[in-house]
Amino acid sequence: MRKGYRPIISVVVLVMLSSLLLAGCWDRVEVNDRALVLAFAIDKEEDDRYRMTIQVPLVSSLGGPSGGGGGTSGDKSYYVDSATGRTLREASSVLQARMSRQLFFAHHRVIVIGEETARSGLRTILDIIARFPENRLTAYIVMAQGKGAELLEAQPQLERFSAEAMRELINMHGVAIKVKDLAQMLNTPGIDAHLPVMAAVESHPKGKTKEIQVVGSAVFVNDRPVHRIKREQANSLRWFQPAFQPFSITLPIEKNKNVSLDIHHGSADIKPIPKKDRMHYRINLQAKGTIIEDHSGIDWGDPGNIRMLETMLGRKLSKDIREMLSEVVNRQGSDPVGLGLALARKRPNLWKEKYRDRWSEHLKDVTFEINARVLIPSNGQTTENLTEEEKR
């Protein structure tokens, strides 16, 4: 029996000895020793230094069990701090120097890029985001109107953190851009980047704090923003996203008689048609909508009326897209919808030989033709206004 114990004892001793060697070099950090960065903003100072602003939740004020607990500052459930540095990493180590908990970036959901920073180019910023392993390529990236720090300081009423609010808003805005999407748009010839732009605005009626609002989309040439599309116009960008996000549109039928429609299905097919001196694009639009509000009093039970509405909606959608494209593509030379990409896929040789190297210049001559096929299969819950007298 004695002999049988020997291998076990030696294994136990070996494990104990080797665990002594491991002491001190583990990277175990308890969750209450970490500061979870929910969002950070990158701004550029006048002296060309970066200002990094972080948003960290105050975990103790999130409602743990009673008893004990760290200090809280006011009624806010988060804490915003910023520091400057020649690189972002330098700025974050300054922040760490006055932070009793270890900064932990793996949970940030939103990266806010200040307007100034974006002007000086996105590529250098994206380097730190991709190089540092804690950062996630699936975080959303937005551009701020003005300073990025302001977005982090805003306290939206519906969410505990503005980071959370931004994330939800981006999703609803329909053109959500993640870090990896941005990187892909930047490194793919034939498509230019675009980012949602957000601003901290006063709510109405005026509250104590600011709310966060989507104000449009910024379109880029190379890695610098050249133009901002307004929010309503930015809806036209949705057609060209991989997954269509529903939105609503208001259509004037006659003077002061409007119909609001919800467009819940949509897709756009881009067909490049090479002409002698320029590129021509045929964009086939397919949309499905539902009437959600009617001020016209027209009987939508009549298929003829519906057909009329479909034509009007198609015309309106085409017009909006044409306006957006002529502004962004023809005037600014930016290609956020991937016109070049469509050409490169259909006619790779033509793309390589003629257009690829000076695509931005060629964009100014591009012409469009938009065919919209709109269906309104449903006219809402009622065909007529409920209060309308019944015809007998």
Partner 1 sequence: MKVQRKSKKDEMLEIINEKSVSELESFSIRPSLRENVEIIKHLFQDCSDFVVREFQLKNSVHGCAIFVDGLIDTKQVNEALESLMIEKGGADDVQVIESEILPVSQITQVTNYKDLLMAVLSGDTGILIEGNSIALTLGIRGAEKRSVNEPEGESVVRGPREGFIENIRTNTSLLRRRLKTPRLKMKSVVVGKQTNTNIVVAFMDGIVDPEVRDEVLARIEKINIDAVLESGYIEEMIQDNTYSPFPQVQYSERPDTVAAALLEGRVAVFVDGTPMVLIVPTTFWMMMQANEDYYERFQMATLIRWLRYLFLVVSLLTPAGYVAVTTFHPEMLPTTLLLSIAAAREAIPFPAVVEALIMEISFEALREAGIRLPKTVGQAVSILGALVVGQAAVQAGIVSAPMVIVVSITGIASFTVPHFNASIALRMLRFPLMFAASFLGIYGILIGIVLIMGHMANLRSFGVPYLSPLAPMSVGDFKDVLIRTPWPHLKQRPGFMGTQDVKRMDTLSVDQSKKEH
By CB under 8 A, tell whether 389 contacts partner 1.
Answer: no
By CB under 8 A, tell whether 304 contacts partner 1.
Answer: no
Q: In terms of CB distance, is 57 or 196 closer to partner 1?
A: 57
Site string for partner 1, 250-279 (x = CB under 8 A): ------------------------------
Among 115, 188, 109, smallest CA distance to 145 is for 115
Site for partner 1 in 30-59 (CB under 8 A): 30-32, 34, 36, 38, 57, 59
As a whole number of angstroms, the distance between CA 33 and CA 162 comes to 23
Among 5, 86, 13, 19, smallest CA distance to 49 is for 86
DSSP, res 178: B
| String of DSSP letters for 22-65 | HTT------GGGEEE--EEEEEE-TTS-EEEEEEEE-GGGGT--
User: How many positions of this chain bind partner 1 (CB under 8 A)?
Assistant: 32
Shortest Å distance, C-beta 117 to partner 1: 25
By CB under 8 A, tell whether 137 contacts partner 1.
Answer: no
By CB under 8 A, tell whether 390 contacts partner 1.
Answer: no
CB contact at 8 A, 289 and 277: no
Q: In terms of CB distance, is 166 or 376 closer to partner 1?
A: 166
As a whole number of angstroms, the distance between CA 115 and CA 129 comes to 18
Stated length of the chain? 392
Region binding partner 1 by CB under 8 A among candidate stretches 61-69, 239-247, 275-283, 354-362: 61-69
By CB under 8 A, tell whether 17 contacts partner 1.
Answer: no
As a whole number of angstroms, the distance between CA 254 and CA 312 comes to 11
Shortest Å distance, C-beta 58 to partner 1: 10
Site for partner 1 in 159-188 (CB under 8 A): none
CA-CA distances (angstroms) from residue 138 to 74, 125, 132, 193, 223? 32, 16, 14, 16, 19
Token digits of residue 335: 């290609």
Shortest Å distance, C-beta 30 to partner 1: 6
Among 2, 66, 100, 358, binds partner 1 (CB under 8 A): 66
Site for partner 1 in 90-119 (CB under 8 A): 104, 106-107, 109
Q: In terms of CB distance, is 21 or 386 closer to partner 1?
A: 21
Shortest Å distance, C-beta 36 to partner 1: 7
Q: Pairing state of beta strands 110-113 and 39-44?
A: parallel
Among 45, 127, 134, 323, binds partner 1 (CB under 8 A): 134
Number of Cβ atoms within 10 Å of the Cβ of 23: 7
Angle at 353 between CA 348 and CA 359, to 5 degrees: 85
By CB under 8 A, tell whether 72 contacts partner 1.
Answer: no
Token digits of residue 268: 């756009």
Shortest Å distance, C-beta 32 to partner 1: 5
By CB under 8 A, tell whether 80 contacts partner 1.
Answer: no
The residues of the shown chain that bind partner 1, judged by CB under 8 A, are 4, 8, 19, 22, 26-32, 34, 36, 38, 57, 59-60, 62-70, 104, 106-107, 109, 134, 136
